[in-house]
């Protein structure tokens, strides 16, 4: 198959939502259609013995939430699909924001009963800033929930989207009978049996045919006809260009747990979703069909396999072909590296691949060379842009709870910080270590992983900081900067890369500092490149 064809057949997308909207369950069902798994697991229920394939960290299994982005790939109808399943929990937003730099389109999952929730709003805002094409999947239709039109209104108002339904429910909750597929003009009847892998559909060329009454009953048939008429009047017809530009969002309805309405969305998705898109670097715009390979690290995961202390750097291929055992330039370090066992993923199963194409995600074994945001090329000096590191909002001293394990603790902290789980600050005054995170749940994850993966125990105490501000003085030699350092020395620290950071204790103190020392500039994010 030609290089161009390989690019055309790839679809790389992320699934985003508020926790509990059914994101990981939806991922599982998509994998079912790809024939990648025989029986999908649900995240919540303890009755279902099989845990979700994409949640492979022990802490995720215990809590029923996804804390690390998983990468999953499968083939479906001649398309190669790469899914990035992101954590919904707000404490892991940073991981999700970074993952959104590696996707070409997004599926937003909305819970039929709860509607649009806070975390969904934040994530959709990031997608809108980047004009990422989005499809909305309204989930859990077999439960009582809001009216379909009200939900679409809410999606438009709260998320600032312009929607058009491509499938529509027949009834809801207790009365839920099935879905009318507007995109393919057929009806899919719901039998409430999630054990059936793939359900039957009935083609319907004419919605006014009396056959509709015999299938779903007279009242529901009339109601469906009225609703479809209303859709024609109220919502714009689907326009693929508007969708690709991020100006129109198709909506699908279904129940991921019961594997219902998922295939309709997947069939439409592979037709309309974009193949890999160009990406900006600091020197130029890079297109997927260029001959030369380039890619960037958007995630690092240590200890994928607890038996082997391995670290994987996840690379999104932007252009050209990535080949096993071929040397590539690590731009930041300025040295060539080659990889003898690049991995492609299927949840916790991974296999070695000889060749990968734009849109693919490859896992490279890493001995500590990679940071998030690093660029690999065939020699060109450039860095891909827009991979952020946010100012933490929670700060705690980290103490060693077992003096015999100081080395393990240091190694563990070092590797977890490389993953971007949290940020480490070393105080200038006394060299004490402070860990800053975007969300409080991170501390539990760090403690758990230090103990289970590195055999090190730690304890925390509160550190009274409000925000981390990266310090960029206009002139390092002037009096003003020297005075700033003297007055603020208790609050100054170095981050992992040796950059000076001011750990301000309040918003007021940030404002006072900025007015008192105008040449000392404070920044709330540090671009990782």
Contact by Cβ (8 Å): 28, 37: yes
Q: Could you read off the pLDDT of 492-523 as tens digits, one per residue? A: 999 887 888 999 888 888 888 888 888 888 88
pLDDT value of residue 319: 92
Task: State pTM to two decimals.
Answer: 0.74
pLDDT value of residue 38: 42
C-alpha 322/C-alpha 328 separation (Å) is 9
Two structure tokens written together for 415: 């590797």
Residue 245: Cβ within 10 Å count: 11
Over the chain, what is the mean pLDDT? 80
The parts of the chain modelled with pLDDT lower than 50 are 37-51, 53-56, 63-69, 194-199, 347, 528-529
pLDDT value of residue 203: 63
Contact by Cβ (8 Å): 420, 372: yes
List the alpha helices (DSSP H) in 192-306: 211-216, 218-234, 240-244, 262-272
205: Cα within 13 Å, side-chain hemisphere:
0
C-alpha 434/C-alpha 448 separation (Å) is 18
Two structure tokens written together for 49: 């013995």
pLDDT value of residue 349: 63
Residue 292: Cβ within 10 Å count: 12
pLDDT value of residue 87: 62
Q: Measured between alpha carbons, how far is residue 211 from residues 204, 207, 224, 415 in Å?
A: 9, 9, 13, 63
pLDDT value of residue 65: 43
C-alpha 357/C-alpha 504 separation (Å) is 45
- Residue with the two structure tokens 């239709």: 141
**Inter-axis angle of helices 441-454 and 406-418, nearest 10:** 130
DSSP 46: S
Question: Of 174, 172, 177, which Cα lies nearest the Cα of 188?
Answer: 177
pLDDT value of residue 46: 39
pLDDT value of residue 32: 77
Q: Could you read off the pLDDT of 414-445 as tens digits, one per residue? A: 877 777 778 889 998 888 999 988 777 778 88
Return contacts of 172-176, CB within 8 angstroms, 24+ apart. 172/112, 172/141, 172/144, 172/145, 172/147, 172/148, 173/141, 173/142, 173/143, 173/144, 173/145, 174/144, 175/220, 176/141, 176/142, 176/255
Phi and psi at residue 214, to the nearest 5°: -65, -30
pLDDT value of residue 35: 65
C-alpha 8/C-alpha 25 separation (Å) is 27
């Amino acid at each position: 198959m030609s290089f161009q064809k390989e690019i055309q057949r790839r679809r790389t997308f992320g699934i985003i939502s508020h926790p509990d909207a059914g994101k990981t369950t939806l991922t599982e069902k998509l994998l079912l259609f790809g024939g990648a798994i025989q029986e999908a697991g649900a995240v919540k229920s303890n009755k279902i013995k099989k845990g979700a394939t994409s949640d492979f960290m022990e802490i995720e299994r215990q809590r029923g939430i996804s804390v690390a982005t998983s990468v999953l790939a499968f083939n479906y109808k001649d398309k190669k699909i790469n899914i990035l399943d992101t954590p919904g929990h707000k404490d892991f937003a940073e991981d999700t924001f970074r993952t959104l730099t590696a996707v070409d389109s997004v599926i937003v999952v909305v819970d039929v009963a709860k509607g649009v929730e806070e975390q969904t709003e934040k994530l959709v805002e990031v997608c809108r800033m980047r004009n990422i094409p989005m499809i909305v999947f309204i989930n859990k239709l077999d439960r009582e929930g809001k009216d379909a039109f009200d939900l679409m209104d809410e999606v438009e108002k709260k998320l600032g989207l312009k929607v058009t339904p491509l499938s529509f429910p027949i009834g809801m909750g207790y009365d839920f009978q099935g879905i009318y597929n507007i995109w393919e003009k057929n009806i899919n009847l719901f039998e409430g049996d999630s054990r059936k892998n793939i359900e039957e559909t009935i083609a319907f060329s004419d919605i006014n045919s009396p056959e509709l009454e015999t299938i779903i009953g007279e009242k529901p048939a009339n109601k469906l006809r009225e609703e479809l008429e209303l859709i024609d009047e109220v919502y714009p017809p689907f326009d693929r260009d508007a969708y690709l530009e991020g100006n129109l969002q198709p909506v699908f309805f279904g129940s991921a747990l019961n594997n219902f309405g998922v295939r309709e969305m997947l069939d439409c998705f592979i037709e309309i979703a974009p193949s890999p898109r160009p990406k900006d670097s600091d020197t130029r715009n890079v297109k997927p069909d260029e001959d030369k390979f380039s890619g960037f690290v958007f995630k690092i995961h240590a200890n994928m396999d607890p038996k082997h202390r391995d670290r994987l750097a996840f690379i999104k291929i932007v252009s050209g072909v990535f080949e096993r055992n071929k040397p590539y330039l690590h731009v930041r370090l300025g040295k060539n590296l080659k990889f003898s066992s690049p991995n492609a993923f299927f949840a916790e199963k991974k296999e070695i691949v000889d060749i990968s194409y734009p849109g693919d995600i490859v896992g490279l074994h890493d001995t500590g060379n990679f940071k998030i945001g690093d660029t690999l090329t065939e020699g060109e000096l450039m860095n891909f842009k827009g991979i952020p590191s946010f100012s933490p909002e929670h700060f705690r001293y980290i103490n060693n709870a077992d003096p015999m394990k100081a080395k393990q603790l240091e190694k563990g902290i070092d590797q977890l910080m490389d993953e971007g789980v949290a940020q480490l600050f070393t105080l200038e005054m006394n060299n004490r270590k402070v860990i800053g995170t975007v969300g409080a749940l991170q501390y539990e994850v760090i403690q758990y992983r230090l103990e289970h993966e590195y055999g090190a125990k730690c304890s925390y105490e509160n550190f009274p900081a409000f925000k981390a501000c990266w310090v960029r003085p206009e002139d390092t030699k002037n009096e003003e900067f020297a005075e700033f350092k003297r007055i603020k020395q208790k609050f100054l620290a170095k981050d992992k890369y040796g950059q000076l950071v001011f750990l301000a204790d309040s918003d007021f103190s940030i404002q006072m500092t900025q007015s008192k020392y105008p040449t000392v500039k404070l920044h709330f994010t540090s671009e990782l490149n």
